[in-house]
Amino acid sequence: MATGLNPSYFIALSAALFAIGLYGAISRKNAIAVLISIELMLTAVNINLVAFNKFLTPEAFIGQIFAIFVITVAAAEVGLGLAIVIAIYRNRKSVDLDDFDWMKW
Amino acid sequence: MVEFALRHAWLVPLLPALAFAMIVFLTRPWPKLSSAVSIAAIFSSFVLSSAIAYGVFTNPAFIEKPLVYSLRWFGMEGFTVHVGVMLDPTSTMMLFMVSLVATLIQIYSTGYMEGDPQYSVFFSYLSLFAASMLGLVISSNLLQMFVMWELVGLCSFLLIGFYTFKISAREAAKKAFMTTRIGDFGMLLGLLFLQIVFGTLDLTELTQRVPAYEQFGISLGLLTLIAILLFIGPIGKSGQFPLHVWLPDAMEGPTPVSALIHAATMVVAGVYLVGRTLFLFAEVPGAMEVVAFTGAFTALFAATIAITQREIKRILAYSTVSQLGYMMLALGVGSLSASMFHLWTHAFFKALMFLGAGSVLHALHHKADVWDMGGLIKKMPITGWTFVVGGLAIAGIPPFAGFWSKDEILAVTMQYATHGHIMGYLLFFMAAFTAFLTAFYMWRMIFLAFFGKEKPENHPHESPWNMAFPLIVLAVLSTVGGLIGTPWANYWGEWIHFGQPHHGEPAIGLMLLSVFLGVAGIGLAYIFYYKDEEKQRVKQLAERYQTLYRISYNKYYVDELYQWFTRSVVDAGARVLYWFDIHVVDGIVDGLAGITRTSGKGLRYLQTGKLQTYALVFFLAVLVITVVLAFGNPTSAGILGGGK
Amino acid sequence: MENIYSFIAFILLSGMVLGSALLVVTLKNLVHSVLWLIVTFVGVAGIFLLLNADFVAAVQVLVYAGAVCIMIAFGVMLVQRIDMANSNSVNWRFKIAAPLVGGLFIVIGLLTARAQWVAAGQEVPEKTVQNLAPILMQDFLIPFEVAAILLTVALTGALVLVKEVKANGDRS
């Protein structure tokens, strides 16, 4: 596999996707956009898991199993996250995260 | 039955303990039922104890080899504590005596405490006390004994302060508890030393290990220290000088309590403990001398106080202190036999006299001053004549019980003196003089209270049968209880002894001396307080030796000395420490709190509540830490870089 | 030759993933972001295929590209009724966030470049589903069931959270 694909490519891809997601999560105003960005970060992690599964432990399938669990939990997280955003929106008429700062001193 | 009792000796303390639990949780609302439960339990214990006594005293093998059985209580690496039962003649005698006296006194209490709103509670305490005392007696282990020791102390506290509405009773309870605590602390230190040095607190093992103390790497000096620390416990518990101050005040409790706890049983626990650990004291002559002199001094000291006291129970209390001193003296000169013998007879006659005093107080509605009494014997014949028996016993008139045991103590003290201890003659003199004083002050009380002119304002009446019955039983025991240990047929000495049994020839001379001292004391009391109807002579004497009279009447001002000591020295120390606490300790704590508060006030503005800022800072930190770890230090590069 | 094809496929898929992801986090219209998110997820599914993870790829398309994205689209519709065109602006942090994520990417890249891989020397078996199923249903049975419970709880919780609250605080 000297010339073919090696884990570095996938890690680089994953890192790039993670970085993009992180940028979104930190810099977007809209709460739903932040949720989307978090999904991007989770997907980046999944790429890592599946890639390591292929290159390091192909027989064991641990990486793929983990990816499936991550997808499951992510689905649950999106559901709850959206519910919270909607509930807050009802009360505050806003989805800007910077307005949600009442958990401070 | 006997075999069962021997194998199940733990039932003896357990039954009263169960009675305690039952009264507390079930039968408290029904006073009669509570007392019935309590008496049934203690009587069963007495029956069991009798069976045990029969088993032990018919089998001479017990003298050399006590019956011991135990359970593992708790343990850790290199340290295991067992609870168990140890039956030898000494503990069996105590078991029998305690359960007998406790049974009689509980019966007496049904009359004395009748109508008291706390009747059930009183019997629950008595049961708890009986359980702890019996548990203490059969302990095979010093730690177990210490636990029981504290439990009897607790019962004593509860019962002294039983009349909680009386301030003096509450104060006396506190005083008793704290004074004995001082002793218990010393004892605890002694136990710790024993455990550390010998690795066990088991009496059987200690008996084997202590004589070979040099193999355990300690000197005679340290062993003396251990013995004296251990002795501080009995000083507190058995009212020895200088911790005797609580015992007279303990008379604030109901009279049956004074009889049971502060005369017959609990206060002799100290004597019993020293007797049990005599193998340790016997190794160190220094400690033995301390025990002997403490005992002799306490005996004399308390006797000189007793001659001027006016309250009937106080006189008896000082007499108790004095007699406990005798027992300690006997132990100090090395005779377990004489000490235990006096303990045995003293339990009967002193319980008898306390119960008689209770009967008098009951009849006179708690008028306690003997000078206000007089001629009571006509109206209260049973109380009066049994009291006279007690008086004869304590004065040492043959053939009453006290004569034999006191004579035995005088004999062993004399023997101690003639075997090369010059100071022994001083001890003997103190003991003999105390014997004279004892007879004098006891009969002073008897003549004042029971004989002479009746006081018209008193309307005494004889006590009911449930109070009279224990008096009669105890009077019989005070009469014949000493016959098992006469010098001509010393069954007692053969069964209960430490080292070789004492086989002295009957010392007729000593006996005559002791009878003479007793008769002289009674005679003097007779002249002063019976023949001289107006008591002119004693009043003149008191006038002439006013200072001496005052010192004695005020108990040598020991209480005042302690008061002064606590007021000035302890309080001054406390004030210094208080200042230190307020300004230094609190200052440090307040300062720390202040720093925390101030920094918190400043730092809280970092908490903006904006989640994305947190995430930003978090990942910045992640980046910095990763860079530092991965690239900053070449040696740590392997952790993250995977490089060589 | 297969290496070349898969390499080309990787390049194309990576471009698709990263490009659409960049659009997701930069577009001003939130609905567009969500649509580009679907493209990203489909691209990632392709990457999974490239990594011989057929089943995960299928799950990715079904769960992410299908369910999750549609759910998010609904969420957007529920909360953003006016001014959709400007619904996804950035806040002041992007100036710091951009260099931060750039730095993060570079650090990971450097670390990856330094890494030395020990290849397993084996290939992922062809029939992924047949191999995956026993593991999931036997070794990972309890986590699997827990995940099911988690989903149930999460959906119930979401329902409770978004239920209309009356003025008097009554949720029923």
Interchain contact B602–C (C-beta under 8 A) = no
Work out the percent of chain B whose per-residue pLDDT is above 70.
97
> Domain tally for chain A?
1
Residues 16-75, chain C, touching A (beta carbon < 8 A): 17-18, 21-22, 24-25, 30, 33-34, 37, 40-41, 44, 47-48, 50-53, 55-56, 59-60, 63-64, 67-68, 71-72, 74-75
More confident residue, B420 or B316: B316
Q: What is the pLDDT of residues B370-400, one digit of tens each?
A: 777 777 878 888 888 888 898 888 888 888 8
The distance of C73 to chain A (nearest Cα, Å) reads: 9
The predicted pLDDT at position C87 comes to 67
| Average pLDDT, integer, range C112-117 | 78
The distance of A102 to chain C (nearest Cα, Å) reads: 18
Contact (CB<8Å) A26/C17: no
Which residues are within 8 A (CB) of B521 and not within 5 positions of it... i.e. 6 or more apart?
B395, B435, B436, B437, B438, B439, B440, B442, B443
Reduced 3-state DSSP string for chain C: CHHHHHHHHHHHHHHHHHHHHHHHHHCCCHHHHHHHHHHHHHHHHHHHHHCCCHHHHHHHHHHHHHHHHHHHHHHHHHHCCCCHHHCCCECCCHHHHHHHHHHHHHHHHHHHHHCCCCCCCCCCCCCHHHHHHHHHHHHCHHHHHHHHHHHHHHHHHHHHHHCCCCCCCCCC
Interchain contact A23–B (C-beta under 8 A) = no
Residues 153-172, chain C, touching A (beta carbon < 8 A): 154-155, 157-159, 161-162, 165
A79 domain residue, yes or no? yes
A85 domain residue, yes or no? yes
- Contact residues, chain B to chain A, C-beta under 8 Å: 604-605, 607-612, 615-616, 619
Contact (CB<8Å) A8/C140: no
Is the pTM for the entire model greater than 0.80? no
The predicted pLDDT at position C38 comes to 92
Number of other residues whose CB lies within 10 A of the CB of residue B358 = 27
| Average pLDDT, integer, range B631-637 | 61
Q: What is the pLDDT of residues B96-155, one digit of tens each?
A: 999 999 999 999 888 888 888 888 889 999 999 999 999 999 888 888 899 999 999 999
Q: Name the band, by pLDDT with cuts 50, 70 and 90, for residue B643.
A: very low
A3 domain residue, yes or no? no
A16 domain residue, yes or no? yes
Which spans in B419-507 are helix H? 423-450, 465-480, 491-495
Spell out a b/e string for B126-149, using b for 16 or more CB atoms within 10 Å of the CB, else e.
Answer: bbbbbbbbbbbbbbbbbbbbbbbb
CATH number at residue A82: 1.10.287.3510
The predicted pLDDT at position C14 comes to 92
pLDDT above 60 (res B195): yes
Please name the chains neighbouring A, where neighbouring means 3+ C-beta pairs under 8 angstroms.
B, C
Contact (CB<8Å) B640/C111: yes
Q: From chain A, pick out residues whose CB is under 8 angstroms from the CB of C119.
A: 1, 6, 55
Amino acid letter, residue B267: V
Q: What is the pLDDT of residues C3-47, one digit of tens each?
A: 788 888 899 999 999 999 999 988 888 888 889 999 999 999 999
A87 domain residue, yes or no? yes
| Average pLDDT, integer, range C82-96 | 74
Task: Residue A79: give the domain boundaries.
Answer: 10-95
Q: What is the pLDDT of residues B490-547, one digit of tens each?
A: 778 778 877 776 666 677 888 888 888 888 888 888 888 877 777 777 777 777 878 8
The predicted pLDDT at position B493 comes to 78
Nearest chain B residue to C98, by CA: B616
Contact (CB<8Å) B623/C93: no
The predicted pLDDT at position B641 comes to 47
The predicted pLDDT at position B606 comes to 79
A100 domain residue, yes or no? no
The predicted pLDDT at position A3 comes to 46
Please name the chains neighbouring C, where neighbouring means 3+ C-beta pairs under 8 angstroms.
A, B
Q: From chain B, pick out residues whose CB is under 8 angstroms from the CB of A22.
A: 615, 619
Interchain contact C98–A (C-beta under 8 A) = yes
Q: What is the pLDDT of residues A56-94, one digit of tens each?
A: 877 778 888 899 999 989 888 888 988 888 888 888 777
| Average pLDDT, integer, range B206-221 | 83
Size of interface A-C (CB pairs under 8 A): 243
A75 domain residue, yes or no? yes
The predicted pLDDT at position A45 comes to 93
User: ipTM score of the complex?
Assistant: 0.87
A56 domain residue, yes or no? yes
Interchain contact C134–A (C-beta under 8 A) = no
The predicted pLDDT at position A2 comes to 40
| Average pLDDT, integer, range B313-326 | 89
The predicted pLDDT at position A4 comes to 59
Q: What is the pLDDT of residues B30-64, one digit of tens each?
A: 888 888 999 999 999 999 999 998 888 888 888 77
